[in-house]
Amino acid sequence: MLHSVQVKCPRCSADDDRVVDSRSSAEGAVIRRRRECLQCFLRFTTYERIEESPLRVVKKSGERVRFDAERIRQGMLRACEKLPVTSEAIEAAVGRIQARCQEEYDREIPSSVIGSLVMEELRELDQVAYVRFASVYREFKDVNQFLEELRPILDAEQGG
């Protein structure tokens, strides 16, 4: 495999080197390369890693904050409080939400998208948790809005 990136030698500053060995480390997040300067023959190691730009959440107010999976976890834990939902199930759901956010959005993600993803996951985990979260997330103003959210769940139960 040819590597076209040339790095300055730490001894003579020449930018003419060859890669002697490449190895993946840190679960594939980093590539370790042994290089040899073609001028002074010094062998040295470089590390290559993906530059991560942190995902930012755009809130309703327009404020931008750093993406924080812990906030998702805490919201889901509150919604699932005193319900038969395991912490493993919540962790798995948080992992899926975080993965989707990072796969589908490069730099910024609207908070509404995150809320919708949380609701999708909670709908699958526990209907009561889903309704609890929806009531806070959607800021229901009256019982009718609450019933509108429940209607698809009730219709599915009666039909199935």
Whether residues 32 and 63 share a domain: the answer is no
pLDDT tens across 13-32, in order? 999 999 999 998 767 778 99
Flag whether pLDDT at 4 surpasses 70.
no
Which pLDDT score, from 0 to 100, does residue 135 have? 84
CA distance 148 to 63: 30
Whether residues 32 and 79 share a domain: the answer is no
**Domains in the chain, number:** 2
Range of the domain at 112: 56-159
Whether residues 10 and 41 share a domain: the answer is yes
Whether residues 46 and 80 share a domain: the answer is no
Whether residues 120 and 45 share a domain: the answer is no
**DSSP helix/strand/coil, 17:** strand
Flag whether pLDDT at 2 surpasses 60.
no
Whether residues 80 and 39 share a domain: the answer is no
Torsion of CA 40, 44, 49, 53, to 10 degrees: -70
Whether residues 61 and 121 share a domain: the answer is yes
Whether residues 92 and 60 share a domain: the answer is yes
Strands 43-49 and 30-37 come out as: antiparallel
Whether residues 61 and 140 share a domain: the answer is yes
